[in-house]
Amino acid sequence: MRAAVYRGPGEIAVEDVPKPEIESPDDAVIRVTHTAVCGSDLWFYRGDSDREEGSRVGHEPMGIVEEVGDDVTSVEPGDRVIAPFAISCGECEFCRKGLYTSCVEDESWGSEANGGGQGEYVKCPFADGTLVRVPDRYADDEETLEALLPLTDVMGTGHHAAVSAGVGEGDTVVVVGDGAVGLCGVLAAQRLGAERIVAMGHHEDRLELAEEFGATETISARGEEAIERARELTHGGANHVMECVGAASAMDTAIAIARPGGTVGYVGVPYGVDEEGLDVFTMFSDNITVRGGVAPVRKYAEELMDDVLQGTLDPSPIFTKTVDMEGVPEGYAAMDDREAIKVMVKV
């Protein structure tokens, strides 16, 4: 089978690798039909985070179940499924309370046994706790499938930012970041009933998409000018701020525009935050709550899927480039050069 493999900073290769096989009774093997390149993949691609050379990459697979172990009961061969970016047993203390990303089993995509999401096949351990079955009537509806694919990661992550920030009916919220997660955060805030959604970013085309997704105002300024503009639009700061970037500057911006007593929901992978520090004094003096972390997207999958299937939620416009398996390296380059918001891979 063919799969994308990390060969060092700036180098993704598509190679022949062994096909994953059933090893445990709770495993499922999936033939991948759709997957994606994630903004978090760019951290190792750029050399900003460590990754073993030769490891398989990708963590957002959708496909058809090909084979299941004897103990799997929730899916069977032939079923269409989406697979969240985090594998979860569904039974441990953390899975039971919806914190699937802290599952004690500590399984992940990218190992030799499981394969990476950017490959023709993956093996999913704990299939009953991880996989989400797509109803048969939508299993071959391409438009629906493309709208469901972001539920493997970025739509659930944007939703987690909104939930963590406490967004509700009639609220004003500021979304920091115009990448795929930030744009999905705008969708999530609208879905939860926010009345005003201010989207902050640096790319006019992305902010235009944010408006299509429900942003009522946008801010394209940088630094202190952006903070002042956000405070002006929200009459002194917002009670709900969503940090969807992960950089220290974005986190400090989110804290700076939170109203005293407000809440920052953060989901950006925080590379560089430890080194540069945070404005803890402002958090302390203004009683700002910071909630969030790596998004347990499995927790939100069914409710978000219901909205997609009903036609009230469609995050698929975040895919601005589509490639086949051999084009995965091109997809990484396009996202690295900011030529694509998010790349879909049709296998």
Q: Which domains does the chain have, with CATH numbers?
A: 2-153+313-346 (3.90.180.10), 155-292 (3.40.50.720)
Higher pLDDT, 176 or 282: 176
- C-alpha span between 64 and 9 (Å, rounded): 32
- C-alpha span between 147 and 115 (Å, rounded): 24
pLDDT surpasses 70 at 54: yes
pLDDT surpasses 90 at 256: yes
Confidence of residue 76 (pLDDT cuts 50, 70, 90): very high
pLDDT per position as a tens digit, 321-338: 999 999 999 999 999 999
pLDDT surpasses 60 at 290: yes
Asked if 60 contacts 153 with a C-beta cutoff of 8 angstroms, the reply is yes
Confidence of residue 274 (pLDDT cuts 50, 70, 90): low
Buried b (16+ CB within 10 A) or exposed e, 99-119: bbbbbebebebbeeebbbbbb
Confidence of residue 159 (pLDDT cuts 50, 70, 90): very high
pLDDT per position as a tens digit, 95-115: 999 999 999 998 999 999 999
- C-alpha span between 168 and 240 (Å, rounded): 9
Nearest to 62 by CA among 34, 29, 31: 34
Structure tokens at 268: 């950006």
Count of positions (residues) in the chain: 347
Average pLDDT, the chain: 95
pLDDT the model gives residue 346: 98
